[in-house]
Structure 1
Amino acid sequence: MDNRQFRNAMGKFATGVNVIATEVNGEVHGMTANAFMSVSMDPKLVIISVKEDAQMLDRIKESQTFAISVLSEEQQKMSMTFAGQIDNDEPVEFEYLDGKPVLPNSLAQIACDVSSEYVEGDHTLFVGKVTDIQLEDGQPLIFNCGRYHSLENEKANSAS
Structure 2
Amino acid sequence: MMDDHQFRTAMSKFATGVTVIAAEHDGHIHGMTANAFMSVSLDPKLILISIGHHAKMRKMIESSGTFSVNVLSREQKDTSMLFAGQKQATHPYSFNTFANLPIVQESLVSLACTVHNTHREGDHTLFVGNVYNLLINDHAEPLTFYNGHYKNLQFEGV
1:98 positional shift: 0.9
Which AA in structure 2 matches 1:49? S
Aligned letter for 2:46? Answer: L
Q: How many residues align?
A: 154
The CA deviation string for residues 69-118 of structure 1, in whole angstroms up to 9 with x for no partner, is 10000000000000001101032111112111110000000000001100
Length-normalised TM-score, structure 2: 0.95
The runs of 4+ residues in structure 1 deviating greater than 4 Å are none
Cross-structure match for 1:57:
58
The normalised TM-score by structure 1 is 0.94
Partner in structure 2 of residue 29 of structure 1: 30
How large is the RMSD of aligned CA atoms in angstroms? 1.1
Identical counterparts, % of pairs: 51
Aligned positions of 1:2-81 closer than 5 A:
2-81=3-82
**5+ unaligned residues in a row in structure 2: which ranges?**
none
Q: Residue 158 of structure 1 corresponds to which residue in structure 2?
A: none
What one-letter code is carried by the residue in structure 1 that aligns with 2:33? T
What per-residue deviation string (whole Å, max 9, x for no partner) do you get for residues 11-52 of structure 1?
000000000000011111010000000000000000000001
Matches within 5 A, 1:1-160: 1-137=2-138, 138-152=140-154
Distance in 2 between the 1:150 and 1:93 partners? 25
SS of aligned partner of 2:114? strand
| More helix by percentage | 1
| Unaligned ranges ≥5, structure 1 | 156-160
Structure 2 distance, partners of 1:65, 1:39, is: 17
